[in-house]
Structure 1
Amino acid sequence: ARAQISVTSVSLDPEVFEPYDTGTLTCEIKNSGQTSVPIDRVTVYDKDITLLSREYDTTAWIGPGESKTFTFTIRAQCGDGTYYPILSVNTRESGSIRYPVRLKVDSTTPVISIQQKPDTYTAEKKEKIVLAISNPRDNEIKNLHLTPSGEKVVLSPTDSFIGSLKSGETSEVTFEVTPTVETNLTFTLAYANGETDHTTSRALPVIFGYDKKQADPYVSNVIVKKETSGYHITGDVTNAGMENAASVVVTMTGEAEPIYPYKNYVVGTLKPDDFSSFELSFNTTGATVVPIEIKFKDDDGNQYTRTTDLDLTHAMKQDENNGSSPILIIVVILICLGGVGFYVYRKRILPGVFR
Structure 2
Amino acid sequence: MNFYPGPSKVYHQVKDWLNEAYETDILSIQHRSQKFMDIYESIVKNLQEKHNIPKDYTIVFTSSATECWHILNDSFGSNNFSNINSYHFFNGAFGKKWFDYRKANYPKTTFGIEFGINEELEDNFFQQIPQNDYLPNIICLCQNETSNTTQISQKMLSEIRQNRQNDFIFIDATSSWGGQNLNFNDADAWFTSVQKCFGLPAGLGIMALSPNLIDFYRKNSAVFPTNDIVYNRYNQLSFLIEKANQFQTTYTPNVLNIYLLSKVISFVPSISITSKKIEKRANHLYKFIERNYYHLLITNTKVRSKTVLAIRLMPEGVENIKKKAKKEDIILGNGYGSWKEDTLRIANFPQHTDIEFERLKEFLK
Counting strand residues as a fraction of each chain, which structure ranks higher?
Answer: 1
Counting helix residues as a fraction of each chain, which structure ranks higher?
Answer: 2
Mark yes or no: TM-score above 0.5: no
